[in-house]
C-alpha cells in the first residue's frame, strides 16, 4: 500500500495509539480489550516495556500499530511474544497489517541476538486475522479451548500461532 509510513512509536504517540485501539476495539475486533479498557496507562505501559513498537501513518493519521515483547530470560531472547496489532477499521483489508508485520520482522531480525520466533494469539472467530497471519507465514501450534469470552457471552478457542524468521 503506497502512502503509508511505518516508523517507531513512542510516548508522544500515546493519545493517537489510544484512539486507534479504541476504534479497532469498537467493532468486530480481535483485540482482547474492550474500548473502555483501553486507557492511557495501558498504552504508556506497553510503549515503555515492549521491545518493538511500530506505527503505520497515512500522512499525520495513525492507521495501524503493532508491538511485541522480547521474551526473557536470555534463553528465550530469540523469541518475541505477546504481539498485538491494531488497524483502524477504515484501513483494514488494504495491506496495512502486512506492512506492519514486515516491519516488525525486519526489526526482529536486526536485534542482537536476532529474533528467530514470533508468537501471537488469535481467537478462532477472527477469520480475517487468521488469514492474514497465515499469509504472513504464521502456523498454528496450539489451541486453548473456550478461552475467550465475547461481549455476547459466547466463548471461542484461542489459537497459538508462530512464525519462524
CA dihedral for 41, 45, 48, 50, sign (positive or negative) = negative
Q: What pLDDT is stored for residue 28 in this prediction?
A: 66
Provide the pLDDT confidence category of residue 29 given band limits of 50, 70 and 90: low
Distance of CA 59 to the CA centre of its chain: 21
Q: Assess whether pLDDT exceeds 80 at residue 1.
A: no
User: How many domains, in total, are found in the chain?
Assistant: 1
Domain of 139 in residue numbering reads as 4-164
Show the cell assigned to 88: 483502524
Provide the pLDDT confidence category of residue 116 given band limits of 50, 70 and 90: very high
Interval 90-101 mean pLDDT: 96
Provide the pLDDT confidence category of residue 59 given band limits of 50, 70 and 90: very high
The enclosing domain of 124 has a CATH number of: 3.40.630.30
Nearest CA among 4, 39, 45, 48 for reference residue 21: 39
- Judged by average pLDDT, the poorest of 27-36, 74-83, 100-109 is 27-36
Amino acid at each position: 500500500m503506497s502512502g503509508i509510513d511505518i516508523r517507531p512509536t513512542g510516548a508522544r504517540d500515546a493519545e493517537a495509539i489510544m484512539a486507534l485501539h479504541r476504534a479497532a476495539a469498537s467493532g468486530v475486533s480481535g483485540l482482547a480489550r474492550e474500548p473502555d479498557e483501553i486507557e492511557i496507562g495501558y498504552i504508556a505501559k506497553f510503549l515503555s516495556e515492549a521491545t518493538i513498537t511500530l506505527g503505520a501513518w497515512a500522512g499525520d493519521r495513525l492507521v495501524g500499530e503493532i508491538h511485541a515483547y522480547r521474551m526473557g530470560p536470555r534463553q528465550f531472547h530469540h523469541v518475541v511474544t505477546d504481539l498485538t496489532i491494531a488497524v483502524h477499521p477504515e484501513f483494514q483489508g488494504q495491506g496495512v497489517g502486512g506492512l506492519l508485520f514486515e516491519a516488525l520482522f525486519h526489526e526482529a531480525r536486526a536485534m542482537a541476538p536476532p529474533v528467530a520466533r514470533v508468537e501471537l494469539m488469535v481467537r478462532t472467530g477472527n477469520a480475517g486475522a487468521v488469514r492474514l497471519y497465515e499469509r504472513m507465514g504464521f502456523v498454528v501450534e496450539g489451541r486453548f479451548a473456550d478461552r475467550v469470552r465475547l461481549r455476547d457471552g459466547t466463548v471461542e478457542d484461542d489459537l497459538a500461532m508462530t512464525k519462524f524468521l
